């Protein structure tokens, strides 16, 4: 199967590089959360929920593939512009970008790489994330880059289900038993410092938002907060805005968990270079 992508050979270098970095940021973010969610496969608290989280993982990895394919084509069609070498004398592929970059090259949000913890923490992370992603894709759908807009349009339908499913679980656990409420409470404190990064633009995001190629993520924050407050009220959970946020993921500065994820995810390609199946 082949894809037809917009022609960006006339873009100024700085914008082209920002576009590649931005596309990789979106790809990495979806891939790493997809990978984390897939760790639940076979371990979910009930069969239906095991299937649900695995389906969400599949959607996210599918989104990541679309973004990686686009990033690979941008890199291939503009030789010498972006600093990535797969080490083989062939064009860059989506797999190269997922399997042959190191932690410092990954631009995913820090919240996606955090450990799964218990079901409460996984649910809360999905809820924070999907609510953000829904707003992001609603904006990105209007991007002047037709491929980013198409991926956003496609993914939005899936994300709608993710928001619904995770919202229901936040309410069910928050307003559930004393133990489930307590676990949600602990999940809030372990994740709250990773939310600010979702609305703190990296340089490439600022540049692309100006060009109407990317989304203006600062603008998403009020609506995101309203949704979280609304669901937390139903879930009898407290919402407080944290005083500081941990950032850096978008620039390749990751938490200690990132190396472990890559070690597992990339092992095969590192041990048996260029292998296919």
Partner 1 sequence: MTENNQHTNKDPTTNLPNGLPNNTGPDEKKIWHILSQVNDPEVPVLSVLDLGIVRKVLIEQTPGYDEKIKSPAIEITITPTYSGCPAMDVISMNIRFALLQAGYKNISIKSVLSPAWTTDWMTEEGKQKLKAYGIAPPNPSQSVCSTEPFQAEEAIQCPRCNSYHTQLISQFGSTACKSFYRCLDCKEPFDYFKCH
151 binds partner 1 (CB under 8 A): yes
Decide whether 2 or 9 has the Cβ nearer to partner 1. 2
Residue 61 beta carbon to partner 1: minimum distance, rounded to whole angstroms: 5
Give, as one character, the DSSP assignment of residue 219: G
Rounded distance, CA 232 to CA 251, Å?
A: 31
Question: C-alpha angle 60/270/38, rounded to 5°?
Answer: 25
Q: How far is CA 84 from the centre of its chain?
A: 21
**C-alpha radius of gyration, the chain, whole number:** 19
Decide whether 56 or 103 has the Cβ nearer to partner 1. 56
215 binds partner 1 (CB under 8 A): no
Rounded distance, CA 1 to CA 15, Å?
A: 28
184 binds partner 1 (CB under 8 A): no
3-state secondary structure of 208: helix
Q: Which stretch binds partner 1 (CB under 8 A): 75-83, 89-97, 149-157, 182-190?
A: 149-157
Measured from the Cβ of residue 250, the count of other Cβ atoms closer than 10 Å reads 24
160 binds partner 1 (CB under 8 A): yes
Rounded distance, CA 195 to CA 239, Å?
A: 12
134 binds partner 1 (CB under 8 A): yes
Candidates 8, 15, 49, 186: give the one binding partner 1 (CB under 8 A).
49
Q: Which stretch binds partner 1 (CB under 8 A): 2-10, 198-206, 246-254, 255-263?
A: 2-10
Rounded distance, CA 77 to CA 238, Å?
A: 50
How many residues are given for the chain? 277
Q: Which stretch binds partner 1 (CB under 8 A): 12-20, 44-52, 117-125, 251-259?
A: 44-52
Decide whether 158 or 207 has the Cβ nearer to partner 1. 158
Rounded distance, CA 237 to CA 241, Å?
A: 13
161 binds partner 1 (CB under 8 A): yes
Candidates 19, 20, 32, 171: give the one binding partner 1 (CB under 8 A).
171
52 binds partner 1 (CB under 8 A): yes
Candidates 92, 231, 261, 262: give the one binding partner 1 (CB under 8 A).
231
2 binds partner 1 (CB under 8 A): yes
Residue 152 beta carbon to partner 1: minimum distance, rounded to whole angstroms: 9
| Per-residue exposure over 18-36, b if at least 16 CB sit within 10 Å of its own CB, e if not | bbbbbbbbbbbbbbbbbbb
Backbone region of residue 126 per phi and psi (left: phi > 0; alpha: psi in -120 to 50; beta: other values): alpha
Using CB under 8 A, count the residues that bind partner 1. Answer: 41
3-state secondary structure of 44: coil
Candidates 15, 149, 206, 265: give the one binding partner 1 (CB under 8 A).
149
Residues that bind partner 1 (CB under 8 A): 1-4, 48-49, 51-52, 55-56, 58-63, 65-66, 131, 134, 146-147, 149-151, 153-158, 160-161, 163-165, 167-168, 171, 231, 234
């Amino acid at each position: 199967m082949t894809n037809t992508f917009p022609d960006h050979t006339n873009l100024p270098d700085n914008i082209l590089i920002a576009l590649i970095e931005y596309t990789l940021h979106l790809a990495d973010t979806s891939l790493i959360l997809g990978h984390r969610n897939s760790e639940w496969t076979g371990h979910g608290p009930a069969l239906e929920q095991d299937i649900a989280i695995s389906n969400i993982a599949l959607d996210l990895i599918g989104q990541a593939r679309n973004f990686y394919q686009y990033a690979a084509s941008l890199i291939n069609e503009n030789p010498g512009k972006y600093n990535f070498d797969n080490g083989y004398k062939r064009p860059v592929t989506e797999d190269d970008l997922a399997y042959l970059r190191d932690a410092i090259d990954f631009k995913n949000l820090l919240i996606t790489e955090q450990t799964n913890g218990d079901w409460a923490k996984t649910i809360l992370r999905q809820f924070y994330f999907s609510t953000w992603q829904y707003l992001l894709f609603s904006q990105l759908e209007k991007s002047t880059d037709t491929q980013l807009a198409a991926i956003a349009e496609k993914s939005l339908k899936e994300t709608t289900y993710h928001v619904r499913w995770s919202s229901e679980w936040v309410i069910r656990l928050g307003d559930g038993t004393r133990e489930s409420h307590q676990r949600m409470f602990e999940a809030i404190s372990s994740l709250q410092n990773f939310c600010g990064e979702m609305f703190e633009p990296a340089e490439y995001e600022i540049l692309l938002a100006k060009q109407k190629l990317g989304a203006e993520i600062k603008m998403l924050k009020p609506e995101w907060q309203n949704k979280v407050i609304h669901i937390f009220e139903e879930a009898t959970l407290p919402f407080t805005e944290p005083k500081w946020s941990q950032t850096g993921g978008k620039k390749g500065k990751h938490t200690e968990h990132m190396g472990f994820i890559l070690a597992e995810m990339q092992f095969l390609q590192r041990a048996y270079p260029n292998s296919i199946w």
